Chain A
Amino acid sequence: MRLSDIMSFLDLHVWAEVALVIFLAVFALVVFRILFAPREVTKRIASLPLQDDNGVSTLEEGE
């Protein structure tokens, strides 16, 4: 008996749909958790890229 015989017998088509539901559920949990995250934490993290600005502007022309 080959692996494909066993897999065919198990009829795993439904697995994909089960996985879909699992993924949606986990994703929903992540979304809920993000919505409830403390604002002060996200505000600080959001400003991380702006911490090393050195005042150079592309708008100015070099010469």
Chain B
Amino acid sequence: MTLLQSQTPQQVSELESFTYDDAIVRKFFWATLIWGLVAFLVGVILAVQLAYPQANLIPEIAFGRLRPLHTNAAIFAFAGNAIFTAVYYSTQRLCKCRMWSDKLSKLHFWGWQLIIVSAAITLPLGITQSKEYAELEWPIDLAIAVVWLGLFGTNFLMTLVKRRERHMYVALWFYIASLVAVTILHVFNNIWIPVGVVEFLKTGEVSSVSNLMKSYPVYAGVQDAFMQWWYGHNAVAFFLTTPFLGLMYYFLPKAAKRPVFSYKLSIIHFWSLVFIYIWAGPHHLHYTALPQWASTLGMAFSLMLWMPSWGGMINGLLTLRGAWHKVSTDPVLKFFVVGVTFYGMSTFEGPLLSVKTVNALSHYTDWTIAHVHAGTLGWNSFMTFGMLYWLAPRLFQTKGIYSVKLVSLHFWMGTIGILLYIISIYTAGITQGLMWRAFNENGTLAFPEFIETVTKLMPFYWIRAIGGTVFLASSLIGAYTLFMTWRQRPAKYDVPTHQAPALTKYYDDGPPPVSRLTSNAGIGHAGDRFLQGHWHRRWERLPVRFTVWVVVAVSIASIFEIIPTFLIKSNVPKITTVLPYTPLEIAGRDIYIAEGCYNCHSQMIRPIFSETERYGDYTKPGETIYDRPFQWGSRRIGPDLAREGKTNPNAAWHYDHFYDPRTTKGSIMPSYKHLYERDINFAEIQPRIVSLALLGTPYGDAVTNAEEMAREQARQVADSIREGSTVTELVDNLEDKQVVALIAYMQRLGTDLTRTPDEAATEEGASE
């Protein structure tokens, strides 16, 4: 029985006995490890697919469908379970109480694993919203909201309310901010109309499982992009950064056996992230059709993040002051030191990449991929493994870890794996960026064929695959070590009872501060009283009020930044020749989304000379007003497609290319032969058009006649393929095949801008 007392005499009430729920921590511990191995394995498969495209064996695990599975597994399954492991272990101890409800803890655990399994099933089936890190479709989105806020949030906040330690340690603040911000981000980025629900309300039935799961966002084009990258950036901030900082501020002092270097700096670190991070999202959209002011604002706030982030890193490293000799022998500290160093590297590089001129080079290249992996492998996974190794003997109640040598081996192999990965991919990214913008002396593109900039990267892609494999192998060694440690557990876990006094209902804050100044005006005295921080110390004891203020800070920033883009017409000038996609093009677009084409192709030509030379006129905000969801992309493994319909309208060429992309020598695109076998589900199209019309797309007669219109256009596209000189065998009933819908969508891309108003009027009339 241990006695935990830290309160001052006036706070002390009767001692209460309690135990900690470590069984739930052990569950999350194993989930972290298992999903981590899955995420790393899928990452290695993807790396091999890029270097060796024949490894895209079946459509369900081709690169476009598998890549979202990798990112979701790494972020929400591996990092998510790591966060919960840290939260459930540290919150109970920092609050000196058991989690509020064991039942909610268990429901949270199983609910979260169920969501991960749902993702693992739906993403390979092509059920996706196509928004990065928010791909999961609407039923799973609802489940996430229930499990995250309803189960985890309630349990966590109620534990804070019922705590026995008056002061909330800074790690808890980071957890609160994560809970609040992720809830807001998730809800506002996932406002959609479910097609199946619309269809059911209109007809009393749902035509397919695909329609049941399908949704269209209420946002379109620029607004959808803005909302998505507000979410995407802050998912990194409040899922991969703030909870891991909470983890750092709790577990690093424990491993070093000394308090954090500067508690004051940790508070500054916290508030700066809450105040500043939320604004930085638009730096993901530099030089796109996003309004300039929003882009500049995102850059300015990103640059401001430099100092607090480095303050946090330095605070972490200086916590080891006087204990650096331990780092050479203690593998847990090794993981933490390298993890925190990678945090510093990533948070230096992030603001650097947000600078517009740097971003002009880096965006759409592998540079971003290297940056992200320095963060997730270096920072998130090393902090996680450090925590797991520190926790293992405590959770499994063993004398120590199974083998310190194996932990060291894991550390060194993991470090080498990360370095092989990021160095090769940094090189690939910068190489590709420079090749895209290189001009000859005569003013033409030095590498006019995009494929030249792909084949150049192959050696780096192989090195990346090797680096990823080394990292995966190191993690397997880690898993073996942790498994063997678990095997040494006692037959029955001891559950120690702790004691601490309950918090008294009324807390004496002490006398209000008195100004220490002598000859100042009233405002000077007020300022001095403010600086004494009496008010803030009160906040620190009041979790609900504290949470409310975090919500206010995050919400106000978001509202100020996002709302004007939605409501000011001049931000998205309308182009009269831009018309809605036809029903068949919508079907093709949905196939494009399901196959994950956006993972390799952008649809956003920036107003940069090398881009307009290569792809055509730059993309205007008004061109994407019917794009639900937007398809601007974030990476060009293949070329931009924003003007594909203008530069490459040949249906027969697309027919050959989708079947065998190697008709372009050196292409690493997977084959899409299955689209030549699978039929278009024409019955699905009508409800989709109705749903889009409900969101404001002016569809006219297509609202009632979409299926027939789609069939008619499919016949026309099929005829044009037959008339062309294809080398690929023409399949029977070509007009029914999915490839025809996808080709119709390709032929439409980027063509509206150069249409004359007369042509647009004719087209509009024909479509109605």
**Which A residues are within 8 Å of any B CB, using their own CB?**
3-5, 7-8, 11-13, 15-20, 23, 26-27, 29-38, 41-54, 56-63
Contacts and interface: CB of A to CB of B under 8 A. Distances in A.
SS class of chain A's interface: helix, strand, loop or mixed?
A: helix
Residue of B255, B498, B564 with most chain A CB atoms under a 10 A cut-off? B564
A30 B259 CA distance: 22
A35 B264 contact: yes
Given A20-B300, A23-B557, A52-B2, A58 B400 contact: yes
Contact of B400 (A32, A35, A37, A62): A62
B293 A13 contact: yes
A7 B267 contact: no
B293 A34 contact: no
Contact of A48 (B167, B297, B332, B569): B167
Given A50-B257, A62-B399, 12 more contacts: A4-B569, A19-B556, A30-B275, A42-B263, A43-B263, A46-B253, A49-B171, A51-B6, A52-B4, A58-B330, A58-B390, A61-B399
B568 A31 contact: no
B561 interface: yes
Given A8-B568, A48-B169, A50-B259, A61 B404 contact: yes
Contacts of A57: 393, 400
B347 interface: no
A55 B330 CA distance: 15
Contacts of A41: 537
B200 interface: no
B530 interface: yes
Interface in B153-175: 165, 167, 169-171
B394 A56 contact: yes
Interface in B396-419: 398-404, 407
B263 A33 contact: no
14 contacts: A8-B570, A17-B297, A33-B531, A34-B267, A42-B263, A45-B167, A50-B257, A56-B393, A58-B400, A59-B329, A59-B400, A61-B401, A61-B402, A63-B488
B593 to A, nearest CB: 28
A4 B533 contact: no
A18 to B, nearest CB: 8
A13 B313 CA distance: 35
B272 interface: yes
Given A33-B531, A36-B531, A58-B400, A15 B560 contact: yes
Given A8-B570, A56-B394, A50 B400 contact: no
B721 to A, nearest CB: 43
B392 A58 contact: yes
B532 interface: yes
A13 B292 CA distance: 11
Given A3-B567, A48-B6, A20 B400 contact: no
A34 B393 contact: no
Nearest to A7: B567
B533 A49 contact: no
B499 interface: no
Nearest to A33: B533
A60 B93 contact: no
A44 B6 contact: yes
B659 interface: no
A19 B556 CA distance: 8
Ranked 6 nearest A-B pairs via Cβ: A60-B400, A7-B567, A19-B560, A46-B263, A46-B259, A42-B263
B94 A49 contact: yes
B88 interface: no
Contact of B531 (A3, A32, A47): A32
Nearest to A27: B275
A51 B537 CA distance: 21
Given A43-B263, A60-B400, A61-B403, A52 B276 contact: no
B268 A30 contact: yes
Contact of A42 (B264, B294, B403): B264
A20 B260 CA distance: 31
Contacts of B101: none
Nearest to B90: A49
A41 B510 CA distance: 14
A12 B564 contact: yes
B485 interface: yes
A47 B230 CA distance: 36
A4 B567 contact: yes
A37 B564 CA distance: 38
Contacts of A44: 6, 167
B556 A15 contact: no
Nearest to B329: A59
B339 interface: no
A4 B94 CA distance: 49
Contacts of B259: 43, 46-47, 49-50
Contacts of A46: 253, 259-260, 263
B331 interface: yes
Nearest to B249: A49
B678 interface: no
Interface string B528-567: 0011110011001000000000000000110011011001
A53 B531 contact: no
B306 interface: no
A8 B570 CA distance: 7
A58 B170 CA distance: 25
B167 A58 contact: no
A58 B169 contact: no
Nearest to B166: A45
B94 A37 contact: no
A63 B532 CA distance: 53
Contact of A7 (B167, B169, B330, B564): B564
Contacts of A35: 264
Contacts of A7: 564, 567-568
B592 interface: no
B76 interface: no
Contacts of A34: 264, 267-268, 271, 533, 536
Contacts of B250: 49
Contact of A54 (B169, B394, B536, B537): B394
B169 A19 contact: no
A53 B254 contact: yes
B389 interface: yes
Interface string B663-676: 00000000000000
Contact of B557 (A13, A19, A30, A43): A19
B709 to A, nearest CB: 30
A27 B537 CA distance: 17
A52 to B, nearest CB: 5
B567 A53 contact: no
Contacts of B171: 49
A63 B321 CA distance: 32
A20 B297 contact: yes
Nearest to A29: B530
B390 A23 contact: no
Contacts of A63: 402, 488
B249 to A, nearest CB: 8
A62 B488 contact: yes
